[in-house]
């Protein structure tokens, strides 16, 4: 175990970053359904974990079925969903973790609120930019088909807007990239801004 020299009263982010040997950061993925957010998040997590980095992925699997299981998909429910994700991500980041959140998060206002909650320097918006035509072609869960036929209402990109980021910290044009290559671009980004070594 690492010996930490510290005799303060309040364990702040710097202490946890020292324990973990990394800097805390939030990689806020945004993109259409089927754009590859979760897949790229998990590939990136794997790459980073293999270097011993402490990386947490928050996605539908561990949030929607747990903390946010009481929320519906109404406007207020979706807003609250994003608020809680940002608050939980902040708790992890404040404890030195690198957090990847993989949610469509279609509205600029919600993403900006998340940025405010977590803090501008720690929040990195990463646009998983896959054209909607490609997402419709992939349609891994068959959701676009249902949305286009009207079986699902208020579906982002079809019957509900997706507001693409204006100035994301990073945009991944997935169309000509493998999952590996997409993840690698984010690793490069993290090295360039000093989050990892």
Taking Cα atoms as reference points, which of 117, 182, 148 lies closest to residue 33? 148
Return the residues of window 146-175 that contact its own copies according to CB under 8 A.
none
Least spacing, CB of residue 132 vs its own copies, in Å: 27
Size of the site for its own copies (CB under 8 A): 43
Considering the rule CB under 8 A, would residue 57 count as an interface residue with its own copies? yes
Note if 178 is an active site residue: no
User: Looking at 13, 42, 115, 146, which residue binds its own copies (CB under 8 A)?
Assistant: 42
The enclosing H or E element of 135 equals helix 132-138
CA separation for the pair 191, 85 (Å, rounded): 25
Q: Which is nearer to its own copies, 95 or 111 (CB)?
A: 95
User: Looking at 24, 31, 75, 97, which residue binds its own copies (CB under 8 A)?
Assistant: 97
Least spacing, CB of residue 74 vs its own copies, in Å: 16
Strand, coil or helix: what is 127?
Answer: strand
Name the token pair of 84: 């809680």
Least spacing, CB of residue 128 vs its own copies, in Å: 19
DSSP track, 60-114: HHHIIIIITTT--SSHHHHHHHHHHHHHHHHHHHHTT-EEEEE-----HHHHHHH
Return the residues of window 68-87 that contact its own copies according to CB under 8 A.
70, 80, 84, 87
């Amino acid at each position: 175990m690492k010996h930490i020299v510290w005799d303060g009263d309040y364990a702040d982010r710097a202490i946890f970053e020292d324990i973990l040997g990394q800097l805390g950061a939030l990689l806020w993925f945004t993109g259409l359904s089927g754009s590859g957010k979760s897949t790229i998040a998990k590939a990136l997590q794997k790459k980073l974990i293999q270097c011993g980095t402490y990386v947490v992925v928050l996605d539908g699997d561990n949030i929607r079925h747990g903390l946010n299981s009481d929320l519906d998909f109404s406007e207020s429910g979706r807003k609250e969903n994003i608020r809680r994700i940002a608050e939980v991500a902040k708790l992890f980041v404040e404890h030195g973790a690198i957090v990847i959140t993989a949610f469509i998060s279609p509205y600029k206002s919600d993403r900006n609120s998340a940025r405010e909650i977590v803090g501008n320097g720690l929040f990195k918006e990463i646009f998983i930019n896959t054209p909607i035509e490609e997402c419709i072609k992939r349609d891994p869960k068959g959701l676009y088909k249902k949305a286009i036929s009207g079986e699902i209402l208020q579906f982002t990109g079809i019957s509900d807007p997706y507001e693409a980021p204006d100035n994301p910290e990073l945009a991944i044009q997935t169309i000509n990239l493998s999952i590996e290559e997409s993840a690698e671009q984010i690793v490069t980004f993290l090295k360039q801004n000093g989050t990892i070594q």
